Chains A and B, each alone.
Chain A
Amino acid sequence: MRVDELISGPVHTISPEKSVFRAAELMNEHGVDTLVVVDHGAVLGILTSRDVRSAHPNRIVADAMTTDPVTVSPDVFIWDALTIMDRHRIGRLLIRDGNTLAGLVTREAIRIKLSELLDPLTGLYREPYIRAIGEALLKKKQPFHLLFVDLNCFREINKRYGHPFGDDAILAFARRMARWVKETRDFLCRYGGDEFVMISLAEEETVDRFIRAISRPLSINRVAVSASIGYVNGFREPQFFALSIRDVLAKASLLSTGAKAVGEGESGGPGMFSSV
């Protein structure tokens, strides 16, 4: 899930005083559409095939390149890399490991990878996303809230109302939860069939409000659909950082199952179990 996993092949460089014509030749020789412009070890810019097409071939590379390229470290997540690209309106990021140029990643490569991670029904990320976020936060010793949201009686709903209705229920819950998500604070995924996981760095009161809101049954075509929530509060959980993300997910999942056992019975009966 890190950008360095998307680096393909070596970075080809060119010096700023070379001609654009020579740059075009180099691109053809190496079969690449981007050259990194380097002068005495310092990265000055990048030159893309588009830059080459729009510049006179007699020009020097320094006069055709895009200056001040945006760089990221290799451990940046691919979805964060895409946000950076959107913010700067660029199609490429240089990956720099300290003073070493590690590679280059394109928007297209990120898009392809992200499309593998996206759930086509809800548009949310799938399970590997939340696992990567959780692992990274645990590694940084950053406590977080993890909520495992499981729709109640989903199998019965599918049997009684049909699978398209089940899809509607999943979509409605996904949208309801997505409304709470704030960028850089909350991370939401569709974990499995009728299960969602949210990792949040928000204040406890905010998380409590979220739980209360999500616990309320949702009326879909006059059918009440509810969810059970398993909640692990990493800010209060003893020995939280001794756990792996797999442990935390397992704990929250079991808590949601416990909440079901106590609170449901009917599809409209919500429940919530917390670890603390």
Chain B
Amino acid sequence: MNDKNLYSRKATLDLKISEFEVPPMLDLLIIGKKAPIGPEAARRMAEALSPDQFTLFRLDHPKIEGVLVRNSVLQMLDYALLMKIVLEEAEHLLLDSMVLRAELKITVSVRREVNLG
């Protein structure tokens, strides 16, 4: 009896292709103190992929070492206010070994009254 009738090896391939987002982070990167990528490495990565578009802030926080922020966000939102919100929300989710990325959408609603006279 031929062995080939008894034994065979097959492979199934699944190929998923999607667009690589440049840069891979969104608006914010929150870097834990023991994360495998540190703030300086994240800054260098952002600088290489999107020069002059991100700013790194180092924090004195028990779990968070730094936050990388897209400059355009800072154009619209005060730094202190942004950090307050980010820290309040992120510190419950984050372990010090994690890096979180966050997307921030800011909608500005304006309502004005003008004088028609």
Contact size range, B: 10 to 19
Asked if A17 lies at the interface with its beta carbon under 8 angstroms from chain B, I say yes
Is A239 among interface residues, defined by CB-CB distance under 8 A? no
User: Of all chain B residues, which has the CB nearest A58?
Assistant: B36
Residues of chain A with a CB closer than 8 A to B35's CB: 56, 59
Kindly identify, within residues 4 to 39 of chain B, every residue whose CB is under 8 Å from any CB belonging to chain A.
34-39
B76 is an interface residue with CB less than 8 A from chain A: no
A-side contacts of B36, CB under 8 Å: 56, 58-59
Q: Does B61 contact A (CB under 8 A)?
A: no
Tell me whether A58 and B44 are in contact (CB under 8 A).
Answer: no
The answer to the question of A62 belonging to the interface, with a C-beta cut-off of 8 Å to chain B, is yes
Once the chains are docked, how many angstroms separate the CA of A59 from the CA of B32? 12
Q: Which of B71-116 touch A at CB < 8 Å?
A: 97
- Chain B residue numbers with a CB within 8 Å of A55 are 34, 38
Q: Is the CB of B38 within 8 A of A59?
A: yes
B-side contacts of A59, CB under 8 Å = 35-38, 41
A17, B37: Cα distance in complex, Å: 12
Say whether chain B's binding surface is mostly helix, strand, loop, or mixed.
Answer: loop
The one of B34, B39, B40, B44 that contacts A56, using a Cβ cutoff of 8 Å: B34
Query: Complex: how many Å from CA A258 to CA B44?
Result: 73
Q: Are A60 and B34 in contact (CB under 8 A)?
A: no
Interface status of A127 (Cβ within 8 A of chain B): no
A116, chain B: closest CB distance, angstroms: 41
The answer, yes or no, to whether A186 is at the interface (CB within 8 Å) is no
> B90 to nearest A CB, angstroms?
19
Q: How far is the CA of A17 from the CA of B43 in the complex (A)?
A: 12
Task: With a 10 A CB-CB cut-off, give which of B35, B39, B40 has the most chain A CB atoms.
Answer: B40
> Which A positions have Cβ atoms within 8 angstroms of B?
16-17, 55-56, 58-60, 62-64
Known pairs A56-B34, A63-B40; list 19 more (Cβ under 8 Å). A17-B44, A56-B35, A56-B36, A56-B97, A58-B36, A58-B37, A59-B37, A59-B38, A60-B38, A60-B40, A60-B44, A62-B38, A62-B40, A62-B41, A62-B44, A63-B37, A63-B38, A63-B39, A64-B38
